[in-house]
């Protein structure tokens, strides 16, 4: 049996570079004219408030349009772009519509007849993935003939990398996403992610590395202009190569370990043929982890500020997408509240697994899951519960103030403006092009 082919191509010209990645990988060879094709980009987050840095966070519209053109050239006319984007308020469909319009998908509809759907407004079907695991997948992708998977080439603070397999998480419903972040140490996030490609039709994956993201998956990472595309009709093979481009052996990525084991595949590249650019010529280490102090009780950035009287244990795999989006804002607010006087021995717990440390004066339980897990815990002296899924920003402010951390309420009142704070890193740098996220 021939080995799966993964093509590595340097992005140099619109359409030409994507076409070369498709041709070298032979990734669309199995596609038949008249097939129904579902394109899955990565739009991990969106806000209408600011033109936040999309680079390295969201699949470029340039790559999306180029794939549409290639598909049309191959006789494909039934094309659907679908995504389930995270918004600050669950159920906010207007923001997702704004994302699609801003990224040019409405222009793609007019120009090429491409449909675009918010998967949260579409039917879901329950799929048994084995071992008693069920997740609810968007029915449109399940019943397509072929999937074009267009993730960003980036690392991920919880799963090490976020590539082809991980990108499919955007096709499951909210309850299933929360289930992926279970407290179960066996059926954890990495195990659940490893199963996402199993029920899919044939998949062609193209990793969009025009921009890459260190400490992703979102706007608080460090973005690089990398100009790399990697493509294959075998999703595990391209993810193994993508991990190595980012500086990680596949065996260092737990969900790839699970996926390889399930498929009886190796964790090296001995079962893959790499064509195009040499992997060594494009590989560059991208850190995935947000560093904490040696005890794991405080982010290193806060520890360097000299903050005392606070324990904010490091996030784990059970911290779901919505609370993780708030996590950085809470930490930024705490940093702004620091005035040099030790806080009153406060501990902040997140996710579903954490347990309180003995002897702390005040314990903030952040989010519904943490409240449920530790309500009435005997080690808690004074409990401060912040209910909600996700917890409302106003409730977080009140909790911090009750704990004696006088965080500015403005940062929470204008939480949808926070991504814009990161824009200054890239403003005026010619390598960061807005045109890559437009369809002209």
Q: Which helix (H) or strand (E) holds 310?
A: strand 310-311
Q: Which helix (H) or strand (E) holds 192?
A: helix 189-194
pLDDT at residue 312 greater than cutoff 70: yes
**CATH value of 5-288 in 3.40.50.2300, 3.40.630.30, 3.40.50.1820, 3.40.50.11440:** 3.40.50.11440
Q: What's the mean pLDDT in 235-256?
A: 98
Strands (E), 119-202: 124-128, 134-138, 146-150, 152-156, 160-162
The pLDDT value recorded for residue 325 is 82
Domain ranges of the chain: 5-288, 300-408
pLDDT at residue 315 greater than cutoff 90: yes
The pLDDT tens digits for 93-133 are: 999 999 999 999 999 999 999 999 999 999 999 999 999 99
Q: What's the mean pLDDT in 58-84?
A: 98
The pLDDT value recorded for residue 65 is 98
pLDDT at residue 140 greater than cutoff 70: yes
pLDDT band at residue 151 under the 50/70/90 scheme: very high
pLDDT band at residue 1 under the 50/70/90 scheme: low
* Tokens describing residue 320: 């779901």
pLDDT at residue 414 greater than cutoff 90: no
pLDDT at residue 52 greater than cutoff 80: no
**Angle at the Cα of 86 from the Cα atoms of 156 and 250, rounded to 5 degrees:** 20
Question: Is the pLDDT higher at 219 or at 349?
Answer: 349
Q: What's the mean pLDDT in 409-432?
A: 87
Residue 406 neighbours by CB under 8 Å, 6+ apart? 337, 400
Q: Is the dihedral of CA 389, 288, 170, 48 positive or negative?
A: positive
Q: Are 262 and 194 in contact (CB under 8 A)?
A: yes
CA 343 to chain centre: 33
The pLDDT value recorded for residue 403 is 98
pLDDT averaged over the chain? 95
CA 146 to chain centre: 23
Question: Is the pLDDT higher at 27 or at 422?
Answer: 27
pLDDT at residue 89 greater than cutoff 80: no
DSSP class of 9? E
Q: Which of 259, 204, 72 is nearest to 251 (CA)?
A: 259
The pLDDT value recorded for residue 112 is 97
The pLDDT value recorded for residue 357 is 96
Among 21-35, 45-59, 175-189, which stretch is predicted with the lowest mean pLDDT?
A: 45-59
- The span from the CA of 370 to the CA of 374, in Å, is 6
């Amino acid at each position: 049996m021939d080995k799966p082919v993964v093509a590595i191509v340097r992005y140099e010209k619109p359409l030409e570079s994507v076409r070369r990645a498709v041709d070298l990988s032979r990734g669309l060879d199995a596609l038949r004219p008249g097939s129904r094709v579902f394109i899955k980009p990565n739009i991990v987050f969106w806000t209408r408030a600011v033109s936040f840095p999309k680079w390295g966070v969201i699949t470029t519209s340039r790559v999306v349009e180029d794939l549409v053109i290639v598909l049309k050239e191959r006789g494909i006319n039934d094309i659907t772009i679908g995504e389930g984007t995270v918004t600050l308020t669950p159920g906010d469909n207007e923001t997702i519509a704004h994302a699609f319009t801003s990224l040019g998908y409405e222009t793609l509809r007019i120009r090429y007849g491409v449909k675009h759907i918010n998967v949260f407004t579409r039917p879901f079907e329950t799929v048994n993935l084995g071992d008693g695991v069920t997740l609810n997948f968007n029915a449109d992708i399940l019943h397509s003939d072929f999937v074009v998977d267009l993730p960003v080439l980036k690392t991920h603070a919880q799963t090490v990398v976020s590539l082809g397999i991980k990108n499919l998480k955007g096709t499951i419903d909210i309850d299933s996403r929360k289930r992926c972040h279970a407290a179960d140490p066996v059926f954890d996030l990495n195990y659940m992610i490893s199963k996402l490609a199993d029920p899919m039709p044939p998949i062609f994956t193209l990793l969009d590395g025009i921009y890459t993201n260190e400490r992703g998956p979102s706007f608080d990472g460090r973005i690089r202009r990398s100009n790399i595309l990697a493509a294959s009709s075998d999703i595990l093979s391209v993810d193994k190569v993508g991990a190595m481009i980012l500086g990680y052996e596949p065996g260092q990525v737990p969900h790839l370990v699970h996926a390889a084991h399930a498929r009886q595949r190796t964790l090296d590249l001995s079962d893959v043929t790499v064509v195009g650019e040499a992997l060594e010529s494009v590989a560059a280490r991208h850190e995935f982890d947000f560093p904490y102090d040696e005890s794991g009780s405080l982010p290193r950035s806060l520890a360097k500020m000299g903050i005392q009287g606070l324990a904010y244990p490091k996030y784990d795999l059970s911290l779901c997408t919505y609370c993780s989006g708030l996590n950085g804002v809470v930490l930024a607010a705490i940093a702004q509240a620091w005035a040099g006087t030790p806080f009153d021995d406060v501990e902040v717990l997140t996710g579903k697994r954490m347990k309180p440390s003995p002897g702390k004066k005040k314990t903030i339980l952040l989010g519904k899951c943490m409240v449920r897990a530790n309500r009435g815990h005997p080690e808690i002296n004074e409990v401060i519960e912040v209910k909600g899924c996700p917890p409302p920003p106003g409730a977080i402010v009140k909790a911090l103030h009750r704990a004696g951390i006088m965080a500015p309420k403005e940062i929470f009142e204008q939480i949808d403006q926070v991504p814009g704070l990161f824009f200054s890193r890239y403003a005026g740098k010619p390598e960061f092009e807005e045109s890559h996220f437009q369809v002209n």
